[in-house]
Structure 1
């Protein structure tokens, strides 16, 4: 079902228990599936970018029985994080962007609670829910229904990974304006449809919500470009440069990732410099610094 980005389906507001009716989720990655028609094995976890638990067995979870907590934390003016405590999944930290034209959720929690629903509703009407890539699908159908039928934006290139098709689905390609001052762009890399969301910011200096299409490093100054973060599979230098240059089409001073990392100043230049560093190492330019194996 296609709908315009600014449209909100005026459906009845649901509580958490009603919103997850008919949903089962993978206990490892936290992604939702239809309870009545789910695969034997989560294809997202079977892919080389993800993993099964240590016992190697597929486990499923009923989200209505979740006891996890989700806290709403202000990161900066107009930008909030949904920070989970306990629960299933890989621990992503979605953002809620608040604008005069409505709100956008970037990434989706792998849990849903009545308290979190009420906190998000209190910020204003939700216009779009945008997971950057399939690992971030979480309980997107449930959140959409709980927030009045907000459109769930899925990159057409990654739509085959949907285990449950949201009722209010918006398939998209390339680059689209979500709301005035908010743009979603597919840069690829981690997944073919991996996306970022650019917002002008309350101070108009620019904010990039990068997911892990471009992932902030612990130093708060540099970024990583990977096919798989948990399994340490890098992208080529050429792809890292392509992704960085795609992001650099936008002006942004700050960048927030989806696991609490951020670059809070000169973020656009940090993205470009980090991609150049990645490409140099991947090309062998610094092999002389790696010990005997790099001496030729």
Structure 2
């Protein structure tokens, strides 16, 4: 495909709070967003409202491509963040991961337009989409149709698909692939990309992270939530002198609801570590632009953050606080 046709989906309703697209253009038929009515999301003080992709484009929203690290050269970057400006809905980023055998998109954003389609095509197209959890399902079938590629979702979270809520069997025009295993290799036409979707759960039962073995990057969305102290620059003081991270500050939070600040239980955090401890990674890349942590000790920082949260919730004698091994 060499061109993008926006017409099939441009008038379908989109929740202004979470960016989820619904399969109707009839405003009288859609009064609430079932994703925002869930305690893990919210309806803003202004109340429930809907827009459309046509209105979003007309309002001047555009997608920005940001290479990482900031090379200012998309052709030289292994990963590229795609964000919408002005901010739209939740404001998450999608990340284009450029593997030797083709491009995979991690997570999804609502806005897809001709400029975005053309830029991605110039970068080699798109061969698959992996979405961490339902808050970022957005317009994923529109993206998959435009780029003629599959979209990978956790089977546990199929009930949150807005075009067929409550169903675990709908294929989404044959595009959706429901992941049932804890670990799934994401390949392109049988060729290995080096990417593994890992089901950690927590925020949602099927919440995913994505590991890129080639560069030991872990794409975490908000399955692990990067914190301000995690991305802070503790390396120098106000005089430019070298310093270390202060003890006791976390790098990640583990939340059932991020906007409503409801933490995961100690048992759930420990269960998540039981899966994640089996993988090696040297950087994490969160849901939002700038939430990247490059540190060879980042896996230990995950463990320490889990222990900080469990201790702070009152479990001061929990056996997990004595864990030191990263294996």
TM-score range, shorter chain: 0.7 to 0.9
Q: TM-score, normalised by structure 2?
A: 0.77
Give 3-state SS (helix, strand or coil) of 2:309's partner. helix
Say whether 1:238 aligns with 2:267: yes
**What is the rounded CA distance, in whole Å, between the counterparts of 1:246 and 1:259 in structure 2?**
24
Trace 1:1-296 onto structure 2 (pairs within 5 A).
Answer: 12-15=1-4, 17-18=6-7, 20-21=9-10, 23-35=12-24, 39-56=30-47, 58-66=48-56, 67-76=60-69, 77-86=77-86, 88-147=88-147, 149-164=148-163, 166-167=172-173, 168-174=175-181, 175-179=183-187, 180=192, 181-201=194-214, 204=215, 206-220=216-230, 222-260=251-289, 261-265=291-295, 266-285=297-316
Higher gyration radius (CA): 2
For residues 280 and 3 of structure 2, the distance between their equivalents in structure 1, rounded to whole angstroms, comes to 38
1:206-245 CA-partner distances (Å, limit 9, x unpaired):
0000010001111235111001111000001221222233
Structure 1 runs of 4+ aligned residues shifted over 3 Å read 36-39
| Structure 1, gaps ≥5 residues long | 1-11, 287-296
Distance of 1:33 and 1:215 partners within structure 2? 27
Indicate the RMSD between aligned Cα atoms, in angstroms: 1.9
Specify which structure has the bigger relative contact order, considering alpha-carbon pairs within 8 angstroms and separated by 6 or more residues: 1
* Offset at residue 13 of structure 1 (A): 4.9
1:20 to 1:267, Cα distance in 2 relative to 1, 3 A: farther
- Structure 1 residues 108-117 or 35-44, which shifts more? 35-44
**TM-score w.r.t. structure 1 length?**
0.85
Cα 1:191/1:231, change in 2 over 3 Å? same
How many residues are aligned here? 270
Q: Deviations over 1:83-125 (max 9, x none)?
A: 2112531100111100012111111012122211111222213
CA distance in structure 2 between the aligned counterparts of 1:254 and 1:123, rounded to whole angstroms: 24
Report deviation, 1:73.
0.7
Q: In the alignment, which residue of structure 2 is the partner of 1:293?
A: none
Q: 2 CA distance for matches of 1:69 and 1:22?
A: 18
Is contact 1:19–1:146 with CA below 8 Å preserved after alignment?
A: no
Does the 8 Å CA contact 2:11/2:54 hold for their aligned counterparts? no
Q: Secondary structure at the match of 2:197?
A: strand
SS in 1 for 2:7: helix
